[in-house]
């Protein structure tokens, strides 16, 4: 673009997510990370770290707070599968609200891996909402998935979500009438709309069932209310439902925590200043303070503020 060179790097967050690096010769270079995941997941490799010297970095801080240390993924999966197995073994149903892009695919592959290994009994998995469409996109662009998953798709010539136990929902009422245990992976991840509202209405009142939250819950959402212990929820039509189902949370995060963000920055030579954005104000501030304590100039810009970069 003119004299500027724009380079995209894998951000490791969701399928196709990219960091943008802009270099203007004899002026400066800047990297905008967007959402970033250094560690990788079942679906994607971690963010690229082979980035040339860069003057300025704009970095996210969703989990940039001092207390935002993600537990080890194996530990998260172990508890998740234990809870799901316990629920289906006692005749209950599991509702897993998910973000359609990224989180749902991670959850599905986790469930299928444990079913195939025998650590989770064969259980019908129903997929509802926008997840159905996103799964098809993942299947089309399988060459962007992590190498192990690419090999599996290449050998089987099947979508990674093509499994005899996985079924796309066509009639929600029919699913709600099933009496045997099952798992439903559905939108929306924060329970603010979409098919999950129908599943709350139909399944939340049974104490045998389990609602498993798997992503960040913003203040003011139904998901956040459940995490904070509220057990009466107003639904979209104004109707209230009492939640007797067990509520659990698994941190299937697609964002790096504070230590991961700092580790990512340590791979980039020549950084003159870091701008911390995209996070709750206190988390952004804490990440900025931590960077300053490590000798990196850092700043948290206000919303709408303009910052002049020095050549």
pTM of the model: 0.90
* Helix 103-117, helix 73-89: angle, nearest 10: 70
- Beta bridge partner(s), residue 168: 127
Whether residue 274 contacts residue 298, with contact meaning beta carbons closer than 8 Å, is answered with yes
Q: Which residues face 232 on adjacent strands? A: 242
φ/ψ region of 126 (left if φ > 0, alpha if ψ in -120 to 50, else beta) reads beta
- Going by the DSSP 8-state scheme, the letter that residue 34 receives in this structure is -
Name the pairing type of β-strands 183-186 and 210-213: unpaired
Residue reference for tokens 């300025």 = 56
Residue 305 lies in a domain: no
Sheet holding 94-97, edge to edge: 166-168, 125-128, 183-186, 94-97, 210-213, 246-249
Per residue of the chain (311 residues), what is the pLDDT tens digit? 788 999 999 999 999 999 999 999 999 999 999 999 999 899 999 999 999 999 999 999 999 999 999 999 999 999 999 999 999 999 999 999 999 999 999 999 999 999 999 999 999 999 999 999 999 999 999 999 999 999 999 999 999 999 999 999 999 999 999 999 999 999 999 999 999 999 999 999 999 999 999 988 988 999 999 999 999 999 887 789 999 999 999 989 999 999 999 999 999 999 999 999 999 999 999 999 999 999 999 999 999 999 999 98
CATH of residue 29's domain is 3.60.15.10
pLDDT at position 260, please?
97
**Number of domains into which the chain is organized:** 2
Question: Contact 130/194 with Cβ under 8 angstroms?
Answer: yes
80: domain range? 73-249
Contact between 106 and 234 (Cβ < 8 Å)? no
Look-up of token digits 């580790």: 263
- Say if residue 113 is in the same domain as residue 228: yes
Evaluated on CA atoms 170, 174, 180, 186, the torsion sign reads positive
Does residue 139 sit in the same domain as residue 261? no
What is the CATH classification number for the domain harbouring 93? 3.40.50.10890
Is residue 106 located within the same domain as residue 173?
A: yes
- In Å, how far from its chain's centre is CA 225? 19
Same domain, 63 and 146: no
Q: Are residues 84 and 170 in the same domain?
A: yes
Strand 166-168 relative to strand 125-128: parallel, antiparallel, unpaired? parallel
- Which residue, of 228, 249, 270, is where some domain finishes? 249
CA–CA gap between residue 311 and residue 300 (Å, rounded): 20
């Amino acid at each position: 673009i003119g004299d500027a060179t724009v380079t995209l790097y894998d951000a490791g967050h969701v399928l196709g997510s990219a960091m943008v690096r802009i270099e203007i010769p004899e002026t400066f270079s800047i990297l905008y990370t967007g959402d970033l995941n250094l560690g990788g997941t079942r679906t994607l490799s971690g963010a690229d770290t082979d980035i040339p010297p860069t003057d300025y970095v704009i970095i996210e801080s969703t989990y940039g707070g001092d207390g935002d240390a993600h537990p080890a993924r194996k530990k998260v999966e172990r508890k998740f599968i234990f809870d799901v197995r316990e629920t289906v073994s006692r005749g209950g149903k599991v509702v897993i609200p998910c973000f359609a892009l990224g989180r749902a695919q991670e959850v599905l592959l986790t469930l299928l891996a444990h079913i195939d290994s025998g650590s989770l009994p064969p259980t019908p998995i129903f997929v509802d909402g926008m997840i159905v469409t996103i799964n098809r996109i993942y299947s089309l662009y399988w060459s962007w998935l992590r190498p192990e998953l690419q090999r599996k798709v290449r050998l089987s010539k099947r979508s990674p979500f093509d499994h005899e136990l996985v079924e796309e929902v066509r009639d929600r009422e029919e699913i709600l009438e099933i009496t045997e245990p099952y798992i439903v992976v559905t939108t929306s991840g924060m329970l603010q709309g979409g098919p999950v509202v129908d599943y709350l209405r139909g399944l939340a009142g049974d104490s045998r069932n389990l609602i498993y939250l798997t992503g960040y819950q913003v203040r003011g959402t139904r998901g956040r209310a459940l995490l904070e212990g509220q057990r009466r929820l107003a639904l979209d039509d104004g109707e209230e439902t009492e939640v007797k189902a067990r509520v659990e949370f698994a941190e299937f995060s697609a964002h790096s925590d504070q230590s991961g963000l700092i580790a990512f920055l340590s791979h980039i030579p020549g950084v003159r200043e870091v701008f911390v954005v995209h996070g709750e104000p206190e988390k952004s501030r804490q990440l900025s303070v931590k960077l300053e304590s490590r000798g990196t100039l850092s700043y948290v810009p206000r919303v709408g503020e303009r910052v002049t970069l020095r050549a």
